[in-house]
Amino acid sequence: MPEAAMIFKTLATLLFIDVSTSRVTRAIKAQYSLLLDRVGGIFGHITRFQGDVYLLLEIVMSDLRALELAYESFCAENLSLDMTRGKPSSSQLDLSDEMLNLPGKGKFKDADGVDCRNYGGVEGLSAMRGIFAEVMDVAAADVLVGGNSSLQLMYDTICRHLLFASPGASSPWGVGKVKFLCPVPGYDRHFSICEIFGIEMIPVPMNGEGPQMEVVERLVAEDAAIKGIWCVPKYSNPSGVTYTDDVVRALAIMKCAAPDFRIFWDNAYAVHMLDGAPASLLSIKSACEAAGNSERWIQFSSTSKITLAGGGVSALAASQANLKFLLKSINMQTIGPDKVNQLRHIQFFGDYSGVLAHMKKHAEILKPKFQIVDCVLNRELAGSELACWSKPEGGYFISLDTKPGMARAVVKLASDAGVKLTPAGATFPYGKDPQDSNIRIAPSMPVAKDLEKATEVLACCIKLAAARVRE
Ligand SMILES: Cc1ncc(COP(=O)(O)O)c(C=O)c1O
For residue 60, the surrounding DSSP H or E stretch is helix 50-60
C-alpha 376/C-alpha 84 separation (Å) is 18
Please tell us whether the domain made up of 79-91+356-470 is placed in CATH 3.40.50.300.
no
Higher pLDDT, 6 or 418: 418
Sequence-ordered alpha helix ranges (H) in 203-244: 213-222
pLDDT for the residue numbered 470? 81
Residue 209 near residue 244, CB atoms below 8 Å: yes
Q: What is the pLDDT of residues 443-471, one digit of tens each?
A: 999 999 999 999 999 999 999 999 998 87
Q: What is the pLDDT of residues 78-125, one digit of tens each?
A: 999 999 989 999 999 999 999 999 999 999 999 999 999 999 999 999
Domains of the chain, by residue range, sit at 3-74, 79-91+356-470, 105-350
- Omega before 368 cis (within 30°)? no
CA dist 181 to 32, 313, 425, 450, Å?
Answer: 55, 27, 17, 37
C-alpha 390/C-alpha 59 separation (Å) is 33
- Confidence band (pLDDT; 50, 70, 90) for 231? very high
Query: If we measure between CA atoms, which residue out of 446, 165, 151, 98 comes closest to residue 324?
Result: 165
For the segment 430-443, the average pLDDT, to the nearest whole number, is: 97
pLDDT for the residue numbered 50? 52
Q: Would you give the end-to-end CA distance of the chain in angstroms?
A: 33
Gyration radius of the chain over CA positions: 27
Residues of the chain above pLDDT 90, percent: 85
Distance (angstroms) between ligand 1 centre and the Cα of 188 equals 10
Judge whether residue 42 has pLDDT over 60: no
| 61-100: b (≥16 Cβ within 10 Å) or e | bebbbbbbbbbebbeeeebebebbebbbbeebeebbeebe
Q: Treating both helix axes as pointing N-terminal to C-terminal, what angle do 448-470 and 352-381 enclose, rounded to 10 degrees?
A: 40
- Does the beta carbon of 402 lie inside 6 Å of ligand 1? no
Judge whether residue 239 has pLDDT over 70: yes
For residue 333, the surrounding DSSP H or E stretch is helix 320-333
Pairing of strands 297-302, 314-318: antiparallel
CA dist 319 to 196, 276, 284, 322, 325, Å?
Answer: 27, 31, 11, 5, 10
Q: Which of 83, 155, 266 to mutate to test the pocket of ligand 1 (most atoms within 8 A of CB)?
A: 266
| 395 Cα nearest atom in ligand 1 | 16
Distance (angstroms) between ligand 1 centre and the Cα of 453 equals 27
- Return all residues near 188 (Cβ < 8 A) that are at least 6 apart: 422, 426, 427, 431
| 150 Cα nearest atom in ligand 1 | 10
Judge whether residue 156 has pLDDT over 80: yes
Judge whether residue 386 has pLDDT over 70: yes
pLDDT for the residue numbered 16? 41
pLDDT for the residue numbered 46? 45
Residue 296 near residue 161, CB atoms below 8 Å: no
- Does the beta carbon of 25 lie inside 6 Å of ligand 1? no
Amino acid type, 273: M
Judge whether residue 196 has pLDDT over 80: yes
Distance (angstroms) between ligand 1 centre and the Cα of 395 equals 11
> Is residue 225 classed exposed, middle or buried when 0-12, 13-18 and 19+ CB atoms within 10 A define those classes?
middle
Judge whether residue 5 has pLDDT over 70: no
Judge whether residue 8 has pLDDT over 80: no
What one-character-per-residue DSSP string does 296-330 give?
SEEEEEESTTTS-TTS--EEEEE-HHHHHHHHHHH
Query: If we measure between CA atoms, which residue out of 377, 378, 302, 369 comes closest to residue 342?
Result: 302
pLDDT for the residue numbered 373? 98
- Confidence band (pLDDT; 50, 70, 90) for 14? very low
Q: What is the pLDDT of residues 265-317, one digit of tens each?
A: 999 999 999 999 999 999 999 999 999 999 999 999 999 999 999 999 999 99
pLDDT for the residue numbered 236? 98
pLDDT for the residue numbered 49? 52
In this structure, which topology does domain 105-350 adopt according to CATH? Aspartate Aminotransferase; domain 2 (3.40.640)
C-alpha 382/C-alpha 405 separation (Å) is 20
pLDDT for the residue numbered 48? 46
Distance (angstroms) between ligand 1 centre and the Cα of 238 equals 12
Distance (angstroms) between ligand 1 centre and the Cα of 396 equals 10
Lowest mean pLDDT among 47-56, 103-112, 127-136, 433-442: 47-56
- Does the beta carbon of 239 lie inside 6 Å of ligand 1? no
Judge whether residue 390 has pLDDT over 70: yes
| 151 Cα nearest atom in ligand 1 | 11
Residue 175 near residue 221, CB atoms below 8 Å: no
What is the reported pTM? 0.88
Closest C-alpha to ligand 1, atom 15: 268
Judge whether residue 58 has pLDDT over 70: no
- Confidence band (pLDDT; 50, 70, 90) for 11? low
Query: If we measure between CA atoms, which residue out of 307, 380, 407, 385 comes closest to residue 347?
Result: 307
Residue 462 near residue 402, CB atoms below 8 Å: yes
